[in-house]
């Protein structure tokens, strides 16, 4: 799908992340339970969530002077990347008061806008924890991942995204000795866009070559980016939804530099596939399947089930298919069928052949196959990936790649251009941050286990 040069350029006034640890605010991870399932049943697991380091206040290690204000580094503290990491400390988070993040039992609520004494927080990104210092690692092959979602309050231009990222279990502490904060403070983020708005990578700052964003008062890009395999289980608002694997050439997060990160200078120049192979029901030709009052009715909560099927039917096999189904009001809803010229009408899941045919039918660059396709991302799924839950707006493309016609200057009747019913003038961050200030997404009832064990309902 389209993402985004600065796709994850989330905003919070005067915050950024570093590698040392401050002591001003204690770090207490909100608890979030989830379930492990087998054919014998499901058992509760006591987990928690941690806020991504990109949102946190970072200040001098010996005081409280900001290392980064607005979208600019303090050059006296961050004249180069190594000294910046040595000078700056990453502090704990007030999850509810500052960021609008709350948990209750197995439910996580992420508010889009939170006004607080420090200003206004916009969006958030959290990770599921296995312990106080390690992320929960999910090995997805031959397994099923299920969750409930309520995005009735997410309009055009917003994205409640739940996905897996091939991050280090400890946030990078073992590999990079200058990272003293680790998973406990949400460090080590990476994705298939090789984002260059990440302010500390591999235990060093990303201050050298930093360019403030022209349309985001809190973000910018540095010389480096952070690349890794990404499995978008869910990118959605109340209008459109998509699920998308994004393979990379390696299995571990890696730092890129300059044009090798892709982006505007060379979108397909990185080690990762920025587009992925997406299944968006609207884009695939069924315009009555997902949305307010439709078959999957986004006016109320529903269950999303994703199955990662291997060629051998075992966890040691290679990923061959990603299947999707929904459950709402006790009824199982099979995924929509494809209705696109040049593609089989029997397609209702992601396979390598589906991806090949979709790229050809839409005239898209096939960077998916270039980076190994299904087999490419399968390797990271075998190693284990981190669960990411977020809500955000898009300063690069106004989320039009998800919920409108994209590119906006293309013929909307051409296969693959129409992705949802939102206007091509919608999604501007300045608009949604005002008109959708009360927007939120609720994720709940997370389950993981053997295929066929995490959901129930009638056909």
CB contact burial 89-106 (16+ within 10 A = b; e otherwise):
bbbbbbbeebbbbebeeb
Active site residue 235: yes
Q: β-pairing, 88-90 with 20-21? A: parallel
**What is the C-alpha separation between 373 and 379, in angstroms, rounded?**
11
Catalytic member of 169, 204, 235, 433: 235
Catalytic residue of the set 144, 169, 204, 230: 230
Contacts of 440 (CB under 8 A, 6+ apart): 100, 109, 110, 111, 112, 153, 154, 391
DSSP 66: B
Compute CA 124 distance to the chain's CA centroid, rounded to the nearest angstrom. Answer: 10
CB 298 within 8 A of CB 151: yes
How far is the C-alpha of 29 from the C-alpha of 128, rounded, in Å?
A: 10
Beta strands in 30-92 (DSSP E): 31-38, 41-51, 58-60, 68-69, 72-73, 88-90
Q: What are phi and psi of 12, to 5 degrees?
A: -150, 130
Check if the beta carbon of residue 219 is closer than 8 Å to that of residue 9. Answer: yes
- 27 is a catalytic site residue: no
Residues belonging to the active site: 230, 235
């Amino acid at each position: 799908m389209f993402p985004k040069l600065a796709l994850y350029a989330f905003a919070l006034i005067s915050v950024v992340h570093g590698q040392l640890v401050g002591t001003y605010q204690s770090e207490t991870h909100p608890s979030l339970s989830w379930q492990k399932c087998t054919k014998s049943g499901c058992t509760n697991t006591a987990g928690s969530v941690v806020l991504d380091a990109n949102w946190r206040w970072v200040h001098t290690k010996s005081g409280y002077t900001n290392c980064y204000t607005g979208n600019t580094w303090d050059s006296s503290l961050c004249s180069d990347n190594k000294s910046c990491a040595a000078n700056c400390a990453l502090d704990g988070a007030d999850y509810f008061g500052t960021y609008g993040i709350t948990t209750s039992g197995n439910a996580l609520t992420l508010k889009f806008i939170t006004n607080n004494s420090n200003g206004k927080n916009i969006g958030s990104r959290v990770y599921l924890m296995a312990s106080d210092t390690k992320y929960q690692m999910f090995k997805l092959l031959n397994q099923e991942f299920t969750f409930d979602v309520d995005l009735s309050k997410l309009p055009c231009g917003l994205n409640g995204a739940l996905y897996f990222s091939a991050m280090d279990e400890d946030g990078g502490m073992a590999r990079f000795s200058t990272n003293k904060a680790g998973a406990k403070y949400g460090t080590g983020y990476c994705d298939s866009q090789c984002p260059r708005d990440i302010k500390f990578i591999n235990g060093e700052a990303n201050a050298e070559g930093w360019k403030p964003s022209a349309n985001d008062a809190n973000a910018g890009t540095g010389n480096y980016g952070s690349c890794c395999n990404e499995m978008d289980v869910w990118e959605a608002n109340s209008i459109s939804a998509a699920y998308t694997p994004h393979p990379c050439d390696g299995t571990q997060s890696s730092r890129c530099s300059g044009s090798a990160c892709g982006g505007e200078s060379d979108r397909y120049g990185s080690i990762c596939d920025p587009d992925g192979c997406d299944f968006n029901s609207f884009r695939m030709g069924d315009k009555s399947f997902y949305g307010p009052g439709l078959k999957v009715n986004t006016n109320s909560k529903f269950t999303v089930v994703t199955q990662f099927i291997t060629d051998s039917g075992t966890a040691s096999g290679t990923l061959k298919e990603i299947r999707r189904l929904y459950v709402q009001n006790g009824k199982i809803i099979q995924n929509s069928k494809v209705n696109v010229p040049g593609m089989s009408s029997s397609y209702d899941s992601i396979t390598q052949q589906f991806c090949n045919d979709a790229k050809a039918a839409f005239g898209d660059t096939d960077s998916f196959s270039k980076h190994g396709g299904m087999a490419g991302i399968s390797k990271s799924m075998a190693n284990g990936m981190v669960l990411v839950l977020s809500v955000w707006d898009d300063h690069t493309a106004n989320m039009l790649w998800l919920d409108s016609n994209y590119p906006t200057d293309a013929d909307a009747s051409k296969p693959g251009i129409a992705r949802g019913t939102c206007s091509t003038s919608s999604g501007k961050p300045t608009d949604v941050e005002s008109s959708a200030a009360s927007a939120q997404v609720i994720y709940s009832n997370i389950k993981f286990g053997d295929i066929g064990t995490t959901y129930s309902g009638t056909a």
